[in-house]
Amino acid sequence: MKNLKKYILIALAVLFTNLSFAQKNLNPIQEIPCSNYTPKPQFDKFTGHWKWTSGNNSFEMVLKKEKTFNILVSDHSCVDYIIGFHQYVKNGIIIESSLQHQNTNFGQNLLSIFGVGVSPDEILSAGVDILSNGNYVKMELEYIDVNHVKIKSLNTYPGTKLYLPGQTIPSSEITLPQDIILTKQ
């Protein structure tokens, strides 16, 4: 009986220790060093606060370059990604916004824009969460000059999507404006 109590106390101690660390908001870059790092300086021209306005309609986004673990491999290598946050206002009413999360990082998973690469013709490919209808689309953002970028296109990702019973099927409608030029703020 005495040994059983000892094992229960040890098990509870381990459980509480694990729960304590599970609650800790870890930044993986600070906790585990990168095995190597591949910077992406081509992202620099896309970073910043960008805005388009037309009458009572506006679209703005904040794009940041962030060093984080490479999500494509498990060797603790690090790369730069673009993370972003956006707000869409139509007829003076906020349709969707993630700008309140612009001071968070990749690990907190509150971003609404995620970019992984820039083509040789200076087009950033990024995924965008359309927060108002649950859709996730591909954005092509073209660099024009130091003060302007253009949302060339927003398209749904091709392919078959699997939805499990009970999951909400998002709308395929793309509600965000496209073919617009944004100015750096």
Residue 158: the pLDDT is: 73
Separation between Cα atoms, residue 82 and residue 115, nearest integer Å: 5
Q: What is the pLDDT of residues 95-150, one digit of tens each?
A: 999 999 999 999 899 999 999 999 999 999 999 999 988 889 999 999 999 999 99
pTM for the whole thing?
Answer: 0.77
Sign of CA dihedral 139, 144, 149, 150: negative
131 in Cβ contact with 112 (< 8 Å) = yes
Give dist(CA 138, CA 154) in Å, integer.
Answer: 5
Name the helix (H) or strand (E) containing 152.
Answer: strand 148-156
Which tens digit of pLDDT belongs to each residue from 57-105?
999 999 999 999 988 888 889 999 999 999 999 999 999 999 999 999 9
